[in-house]
Amino acid sequence: MNNLRVFVLGVLAFLALNLGSPAAETQAPVRPFAIGGLEVRPGHMGAGYLAVPEKDGVGTSVPITILHGAKPGPVLALVAGTHGYEYPPILALYRLKKIIDPADLAGTLILVHIANLPSFQKRTIYYNPYDWKNLNRVYPGDPNGTLSQRLADVLTREVVNRCDALLDMHCGDGNEALIPYSYWMISKDARLNEETKQLALAFGLPHIIIDDTRSQDVADSKYLGNTAILRGKPAVTTEAGLLGRSDEEDIQRNIRGSLSVMRLLKMLPGEPELCSAPVWIDKYEVVYSNWDGLFYPAVPQGQYVVAGQKVGTITDFLGEVKEELKAPFSGVLLYIINTPPTSRGEPLFEVGRLQEK
């Protein structure tokens, strides 16, 4: 009996060894990554477009690149060009595409090169030129809505729902002078908040806004970053660059930040460059225009203002002063409009209050 048992066990062990290895090979650790008609093999790169279906004769597409790592890891989405006049993040993603070798990558990088191609092509600030909506106010979007709403819907389904973490990469729009900062959006989930904070620190911009003002309604998340957060995924909105320019320093900030976040998520070897002395902003306010006319800034971005200090003046189209704008409270001027046009309801500047130590 003993010999028989040894024999049987030996046969089983033999079968297990010989069946084990082919089975392990067919269960490759990383499967191809499929998105919007693209299928990218592990260790490879693929590029193409996400289609946004036509309605009323208007459609568009979203150029993306997928870097699909040879090793398993998280899916990180880097989204540039939500506002088509914000160039440094857009240019940074084209550089990253050349820098990162998918063979060395753990996980998957989704590069959304230009989320709002109509705005980029027509060089519009804030708005999509076909429906005059701000793409970053209409999430999670609507497949039957206007072009911006349909774009948001495609990005929610194909990018937000597919990723584990997201960076919504902005800068000062064509008319906005700003200093580099990030929004750390606070949710009801303490664990997620900590992960999001680490993303913000890893991206490395020196001012971080602790932002608890965003909608908590998943059906009305409005912002791309918030859409990810309300789906349980860490996300930060970054702002680095200004005034429709393509300054190398700001392109580099976006590249360094992205690579550092990838190291934080262990997608690349090495340690993240965590911001060593962040300036925490615990309250912020955007001051909006009450007039159509011209705006004259009185204070440069980055300067500290005190409550009630004059920050700028609005005149009408005949040059008559209509309003002097004041700082609502003391803090740092995170951005200020620095080209003449202003329209009722549009932003003029943003003040951030420094957190007390």
Nearer to Zn ion, 137 or 344 (CB): 137
Nearest to 95 by CA among 303, 244, 238, 257: 257
Nearer to Zn ion, 86 or 153 (CB): 86
Strands (E), 151-199: 165-170, 176-178, 181-185
Residue 213 makes CB contacts below 8 A (sequence gap 6+) with none
CA diameter of the chain: 107
Q: Using an 8 Å Cβ cutoff, are 128 and 135 in contact?
A: yes
Q: Tokens 């459609």 — which residue? A: 59
How many chain residues bind Zn ion (CB under 5 A)?
3
Nearer to Zn ion, 73 or 172 (CB): 172
Nearer to Zn ion, 83 or 133 (CB): 83
Query: What span, in angstroms and rounded, lies between the C-alpha atoms of 200 and 355?
Result: 16
In whole angstroms, the minimum distance from the beta carbon of 132 to Zn ion comes to 16
Nearer to Zn ion, 83 or 214 (CB): 83
In whole angstroms, the minimum distance from the beta carbon of 173 to Zn ion comes to 6
Nearest to 66 by CA among 28, 100, 116: 100
Cα distances from 239 to residues 81, 148, 180, in angstroms, run 12, 21, 5
The b-or-e profile of 256-287 (16+ CB within 10 A means b, else e) is ebbbbbbbbbebbeeebbebeebbebebbeeb
In whole angstroms, the minimum distance from the beta carbon of 339 to Zn ion comes to 15
Nearer to Zn ion, 148 or 193 (CB): 148
Q: Which of residues 144-173 bind Zn ion (CB under 5 A)?
A: 170
In whole angstroms, the minimum distance from the beta carbon of 292 to Zn ion comes to 22
Cα distances from 30 to residues 25, 38, 75, 338, in angstroms, run 11, 16, 12, 48
In whole angstroms, the minimum distance from the beta carbon of 182 to Zn ion comes to 13
Cα distances from 114 to residues 87, 235, 273, 315, 338, in angstroms, run 9, 18, 26, 35, 24
In whole angstroms, the minimum distance from the beta carbon of 178 to Zn ion comes to 10
Q: Which of residues 169-208 bind Zn ion (CB under 5 A)?
A: 170
In whole angstroms, the minimum distance from the beta carbon of 168 to Zn ion comes to 8
Query: What span, in angstroms and rounded, lies between the C-alpha atoms of 66 and 321?
Result: 52
Q: Which of residues 230-249 bind Zn ion (CB under 5 A)?
A: none
Q: Which of residues 67-126 bind Zn ion (CB under 5 A)?
A: 83, 86
Query: What span, in angstroms and rounded, lies between the C-alpha atoms of 188 and 208?
Result: 19
Q: Using an 8 Å Cβ cutoff, are 352 and 209 in contact?
A: yes
In whole angstroms, the minimum distance from the beta carbon of 172 to Zn ion comes to 8
Q: Using the rule CB under 5 A, is 133 a contact of Zn ion?
A: no
Query: What span, in angstroms and rounded, lies between the C-alpha atoms of 68 and 35?
Result: 11
Nearer to Zn ion, 83 or 353 (CB): 83
Nearer to Zn ion, 67 or 169 (CB): 169
Nearer to Zn ion, 86 or 195 (CB): 86
In whole angstroms, the minimum distance from the beta carbon of 71 to Zn ion comes to 33
**Interface residue list for Zn ion (CB under 5 A):** 83, 86, 170
